[in-house]
Structure 1
Amino acid sequence: MIKILVAEDQRMLLGALSSLLDMEEDMEVISQTMNGQEAFEAIVNHQPDVCLMDIEMPGCSGLDVAGKLAEISHPCKIIILTTFARPGYFERAVKTGVHGYLLKDGSIDDLSNSIRKVVSGQRVFSPELMMTTMTQENPLTEREQEILQLAASGMTTKEITKELFLSHGTVRNYISEIIHKLEAKNRIEAIKNAEKKGWI
């Protein structure tokens, strides 16, 4: 029996997914949660074989949970379910080592088959998501992403220089390059563009 945890912040979808998967002869939904932090705790406590995880949830994101599990080498296999075909999310998911990345609009048969494949050791990625990523490569370096993430959190250039031990001129140059790469008019627009693509 494949033990499954479902983490999804939309109550109706959470209930529907869990009920449909429970109807599969070889699957059992052992826990449900609507919050990222609770999902992490439930995985550690209940030891499911597979966790179906939404990306955007209260507490922390599905990708953050996957990252935490990777840090402690937890054996639970993560399948991300998303409505967002954002290339940055997919890149992060692959780097984090998730076992599946699928769009929510697939059929329950496709999902249950994907779960079986993942349990058997395969990785399952939505072709649409892979195409989106291949056609929209992230132009930002890791350092540029880090600086833009700090700017998005509300930090000023002065605060970023202290946080990263960089000179004021260096941070200004980075931000100027980020704005140019993202074809933005200013820092605010650059942040919006990067968030829309899932690059920060």
Structure 2
Amino acid sequence: MIKVLIADDQHLVRGALAALLNMERDLEVVAECSDGDEVLAAVAEHAPDVVLLDVQMPRMDGLTAAGLVRAKHPQIKVLIVTTFDRPGYFRQAFEVGAHGFLVKDASPAELADAVRRVQAGGKVIDPQLAMLSVESASNPLTEREREILALAAAGSPVSKIAQEIHLSVGTVRNHLSNAIGKTDGSNRIEAARIAQERGWI
């Protein structure tokens, strides 16, 4: 029996995924999480064989959670299951050690097969996304620029961003200016939108 943990902030989606996988004779969903922060504790408690992670979740995104799971539990396989078929997310998923990347419009049979394949040591790679990932530009943003742009995307003013990450207002403005230039955006909101569309933040 392959034990599976699912993390997705949408209750209906999470429940549907769990129901579909539990219908398979060789798969068992042992835990469900609503955000990335819950994943590590659930992994330690339930010892799943495969962890299914959405990309965009509150408090901790799925890609960050994937990296932490792989670092602390290298025997566990990670499969990203998301609505967002962005080349940037695809590339980041494998950079942090994920074993597969599946878009949520895949069929139930494809999902179950993907779980079995990563558990057996294989990779689940969408050929079209892989090609787009190769063709698209790599992420030009520094880690600090990504962090600040993500906060800006949430609508936080510069003063609040500066306070939250313990930098001066001037330093935050400099990072935002650099990020705007690298994304070819006209302002920080547009820069954040472009970066999100490309999977850079």
TM-score bracket, shorter-length normalisation: 0.7 to 0.9
CA shift, 1:148, in A, is 4.5
Give 1:119's aligned residue.
119
Give 2:136's aligned residue.
136
State which drifts further: 187-196 or 75-84. 187-196
Contact map agreement 2:8 2:54 (CA 8 A) in 1: yes
CA distance in 1, matches of 2:4, 2:36: 16
CA distance in 2, matches of 1:62, 1:45: 19
Question: Cα distance 1:191–1:45, how it changes in 2: closer, same or farther (>3 A)?
Answer: same
Residues 1:191 and 2:192 are matched in the alignment: yes
Counterpart among 120, 145, 152 of residue 147 in structure 1: 145
CA distance in 1, matches of 2:10, 2:30: 18
Paired residue total:
192
CA distance in 2, matches of 1:113, 1:176: 45
One-letter code aligned to 1:116: R
Give 2:34's aligned residue.
34
One-letter code aligned to 1:71: A
Question: Cα distance 1:151–1:183, how it changes in 2: closer, same or farther (>3 A)?
Answer: closer
SS in 1 for 2:102: strand
CA shift, 1:52, in A, is 1.2
Which string of whole-angstrom CA distances, capped at 9 and with x for unpartnered residues, describes residues 82-106 of structure 1? 1101222112111100011100000
Residues 1:58 and 2:58 are matched in the alignment: yes
One-letter code aligned to 1:124: V
CA shift, 1:182, in A, is 1.9
One-letter code aligned to 2:78: I
Give 2:17's aligned residue.
17
What are structure 2's unaligned runs of at least 5 residues? none
Give 2:182's aligned residue.
181
One-letter code aligned to 2:186: K
Contact map agreement 1:5 1:31 (CA 8 A) in 2: yes
Question: Cα distance 1:182–1:127, how it changes in 2: closer, same or farther (>3 A)?
Answer: same
SS in 1 for 2:88: helix
Root-mean-square deviation over aligned CA pairs: 2.7
CA distance in 1, matches of 2:146, 2:38: 28
> Percent identical across equivalent pairs?
38
SS in 1 for 2:5: strand
What's the TM-score, normalizing by structure 2?
0.81
Which string of whole-angstrom CA distances, capped at 9 and with x for unpartnered residues, describes residues 55-83 of structure 1? 11223111111111123244221100011
What's the TM-score, normalizing by structure 1?
0.82
CA distance in 1, matches of 2:16, 2:81: 14
Question: Cα distance 1:113–1:198, how it changes in 2: closer, same or farther (>3 A)?
Answer: same
